[in-house]
Structure 1
Amino acid sequence: MNTRREFLQKGFLGISGLALASTFQLEAQATTLVKKEKEDGFHLGVAGYSFVNFKLDESLSMMKRMDINYLCIKDFHLPFKSTATEISNFHEKLKQSGVTGYAVGPIYTNSVKAIDDAFDYAKRVGVNLIIGIPNKEDLAYLSSKTKETGIRFAIHNHGPEDKLYPNATVIYNLIKDLDANLGMCFDMGHDTRDGQDAIKDLQQYHKRIFDIHLKNVTSATAEGTTCELGRGVIHIPLFIKALRKVNYSGKCSLEHEKDMEDPLAGLAESTGYFRGVCAV
């Protein structure tokens, strides 16, 4: 006959075994998610603007907790006038956190000189992609710069409030006959807020989409606001399916504008949702 002590011991061991098995299972699932993400041609990143209220060390700490390895660099983390030593130190700090800075911007270029300065900045930083918002009258000059330097420039759409580039269609129609290195940073949330279909636009314009600001929005109207990926009106599983169909090879950088003073929870939720969908 089992004693009370034996019963408790067996019960404890059983519970411990289940907990240990659950831990192993969760670790295996996490490994599968990251592996699946790496198998796709596109990779998860963070748009630097998400960290506008945080210093670089704090931002990198959040990225490390989410196991995200790509950052679009904003000038509040690496100023335009940074010296070669400051740029080198910046990249070393990113490297120590397992992060690669893959692009700079968004940068507003309201003159030809501003365009030249943006390209000089990108060259000194050592990236091949600029996210920016140029004047329409400067697009021909911008096209000549992308052709001359080989550095790509991706125009960012900002939704119905943006009188220059509200959606992907407007950008495409302006650049379709210009240099192939001139494309767009497709903000799927702002595109949706302007009444567009983000999935169809991705499929239609993918050859000129160099970067994606990954987000969801609460409604397909001007009043829509950024929310976690799994909570908005954009069907993220279908969006990811479209990414695979068009063989998208750029970055999908989370831009979380819902809680700018405390973005980690929302970014982490969106990260988990994205990786979970990718693993299916």
Structure 2
Amino acid sequence: MNKNSKIYIAGHTGMVGSAVLKRLKGEGLSNLLLVTREELNLLNQKTVEDFFQKHRPEYVIVCAARVGGIKANMTHPAEFLYENLSIQNNIIWSAHEQGVKKLLFLGSSCIYPRECPQPMKEEYFMDGKPEHTNEGYAFAKIAGMKLCEYIYTEFDKKFISCMPTNIYGENDNFDPESSHVIPALIRRMHAAKINSAKEVVIWGSGNSRREFLHVDDLADAIYFLMQNYDRKQFLNIGTGEDISIKELAFMIKDIVGYEGELIFDTTKPDGMPKKLLNVS
């Protein structure tokens, strides 16, 4: 990519997309295609095809997706599968048909098997079933990664994927029904502090371990891959360090200044026991 390249960031208003937008602008890239979901319905195949035919981007970064925490994934698996399949299929295939030079698709560490050896290497991809609490989302991401791989193989086009770990940072989603663990804990403990609540109940035992990466670091990695990486093999993107949900919860409790009690509800699912990417 250079300063004159026409680049489409799908999902530029979300947490990852907005960080990528900031990173590209910081590099002096200004020929950016930016459309909101009100202007372009990514679930509509014809609309997406028309958009690509009209604007003909040279490079595409696919940050758009329906995402959510464990509760949202368990409650709406059909919607997570259908919407993510539709969004990524429409974008990736339209990009292929309109001659996009390079496309980067964001996978997710949730696609690795539940019983995956730790830390998780790229070679463990599809070695077993994903964690059942987010199957719908995981299967959609697997399909998107394989579609990019097959386009690369069949048509010799630089359609590549990366596998980010859990992301947090500016423009995160604090919605009570769909947020991930860090914003969910921040929101709930802040509300508990304001309302002088005696306790906050947290799903699961707190023993599950997760790896977290700041969204600006992911944006740096995405920019690097778009400029320097052209291989078919996807790459893990993470820190190589993890923390238990219990440790994380008490850390946020201290930072927020909440003085009540944290209750871990072991009748609720933990998800995968451990998710740590091999980033060597």
**TM-score normalized by the length of structure 1:** 0.32
Relative CO higher for 1 or 2, CA cutoff 8 Å, sep ≥ 6?
2
**TM-score normalized by the length of structure 2:** 0.32
